[in-house]
Amino acid sequence: MSTTTDIYEYRNKEELLRSASELKSSFDARWERNGIEGQLAELQDLEDLMAQPDFWDDPEKARDLSQKKSALEKKLIPWKDLHRDLQDFPELVELTLEELEDSDAAMHQLSSDFAQIEKRFEEVQLAEALLGKDDGLNAIVTISSGAGGTESQDWAQMLLRMYTRWFDRRGFGYETLDLQDGEEAGIKSASLLVKGESAFGYLKSENGVHRLVRISPFDSNKRRHTSFASVHVAPEIDDEIEVNIEEKDLRVDTYRASGAGGQHINKTDSAIRITHLPTGVVVQCQQERSQHKNRDKAMKMLRSRLYELERNKREEDAESRSGEKRDVSWGNQIRSYVFHPYKMVKDLRTGFETSDTESIMNGELDDIINSYLKSIAGDPAAE
């Protein structure tokens, strides 16, 4: 099988055709499950309708239908092209082996061609997983340390570094909304606004508890410790989405901002903490020097959290990726990071694992995130 960096070299025609047949079966199952035939029929109906001479008599309706047609085409063309190429691949194998006298060169070429088909299948699955209502939005990411004091606070800071490096790799912009330093090391919590195409769609994979096993750098006896931190991801909703928040349901606290920001920011109680009493949701912001601006940003964070919370209540079987608050402790983790006695990062939802812990902690998260997205592709509860 191919990966993002290597091409698997097939040894003979039979092995290659067997893999192609397995891929086609998987593709056909997704084709049927997603109702692609019905959507192609819908696209044909739209094309026939747009060909009518009176189509533009109602300009507003015509624009809506034109936009619908464009969206369907964008989604379906990769499916159609891949369906055709999978159908034609066995014939391509025969023709290539006939035309190229050097069988090794022929198998190399065919292996490369098949790797491209595999890659395109991965891409349509990822696109499928990013079709949720809010997937195209920016994301508000909150990292919180769990029980364990300095150990978990250091782990929360390590996760913050891991994600910001991934944001840089993806070309996502981000700004810190709130940062609470730990007493001795690390952070108690951090909230960031992440901006980029489908930021929430990708980052929804990170919702949950992350578990670390390592030899503690804070333990003079060099004992192994287990630490927990939670990651919560909510879509940044715009002002057009109504979320009912009553002032009587809010407790607003001010406090002196901490961390970087200059002397002025630390001399005034400019930071804001808002607690939504009915749900227990707490948001904080200390990025701005103005208390008023911090309150505005905190309210935006609260609206996003409450919107997501309500959405999750409608998804009975989506707890593992909903972002609802869970105990930051044993039994609730979505991913384990083991640094000792061996090296492994394993996603407990998909089974994805790697021994390259250094790359993961340096923000090389595409493979582990994509494995989750492919696992939920076509699952309505994931949208």
pLDDT in tens, 246-302: 999 999 998 877 654 434 444 567 889 999 999 999 999 987 888 989 998 899 889
Answer yes or no: do 293 and 264 share one domain.
yes
Nearest to 235 by CA among 383, 361, 352, 102: 383
Residue 132 has a pLDDT of: 83
Residue 320 has a pLDDT of: 42
Answer yes or no: do 106 and 145 share one domain.
no
Inform me whether the pLDDT recorded for 319 exceeds 50: no
Query: Average pLDDT in the 230-249 region?
Result: 85
Residue 4 has a pLDDT of: 42
CATH (domain of 230): 3.30.70.1660
CATH (domain of 118): 1.20.58.410
What tokens were used for 236? 């940044």
- List, in order, residues 6 or more apart from 198 with CB less than 8 Å away: 130, 135, 136
Residue 239 has a pLDDT of: 66
- Supply the range of the domain harboring residue 44: 13-129
Answer yes or no: do 150 and 195 share one domain.
yes
Nearest to 289 by CA among 306, 305, 272, 313: 272
Is 3 a domain residue?
Answer: no
Residue 268 has a pLDDT of: 65
Is 233 a domain residue?
Answer: yes
Inform me whether the pLDDT recorded for 167 exceeds 50: yes
Residue 259 has a pLDDT of: 54
Query: Average pLDDT in the 347-360 region?
Result: 96
Q: Are 121 and 82 in contact (CB under 8 A)?
A: yes
Is 168 a domain residue?
Answer: yes
Residue 383 has a pLDDT of: 44
Q: Are 304 and 236 in contact (CB under 8 A)?
A: yes
Rounded to the nearest 5 degrees, what angle is found at the Cα of 250, between the Cα atoms of 245 and 255?
A: 130
Is 1 a domain residue?
Answer: no
132 or 80, greater pLDDT: 80
Residue 257 has a pLDDT of: 74
Nearest to 236 by CA among 210, 203, 206, 208: 203
Q: Of 73, 103, 129, which residue is a domain's last?
A: 129
Is 6 a domain residue?
Answer: no
Determine the 3-state secondary structure of 190 from DSSP: strand
For all residues of the chain together, what is the average pLDDT? 87
Residue 168 has a pLDDT of: 97
- Percent of the chain at pLDDT > 70 equals 88
Answer yes or no: do 150 and 193 share one domain.
yes
pLDDT digits (tens, 9 = 90+) for 36-50: 999 999 999 999 999
Bridge partners for 144 per DSSP? 189, 230
Answer yes or no: do 209 and 267 share one domain.
yes
Residue 261 has a pLDDT of: 43
Q: Are 305 and 297 in contact (CB under 8 A)?
A: no
Inform me whether the pLDDT recorded for 312 exceeds 90: no
Give the number of other CB atoms < 10 A from CB of residue 257.
26
Q: Of 72, 107, 129, which residue is a domain's last?
A: 129
Inform me whether the pLDDT recorded for 78 exceeds 90: yes
Residue 71 has a pLDDT of: 86
Residue 315 has a pLDDT of: 59
Inform me whether the pLDDT recorded for 373 exceeds 90: yes
Is 358 a domain residue?
Answer: yes
Ranked by mean pLDDT, the top range of 4-8, 248-252, 284-288, 354-358 is: 354-358
pLDDT digits (tens, 9 = 90+) for 184-212: 899 999 999 999 999 999 999 999 999 99
Residue 372 has a pLDDT of: 94
Residue 264 has a pLDDT of: 41
Number of structural domains found in the chain: 2
Residue 378 has a pLDDT of: 55
Q: Of 108, 129, 150, which residue is a domain's last?
A: 129
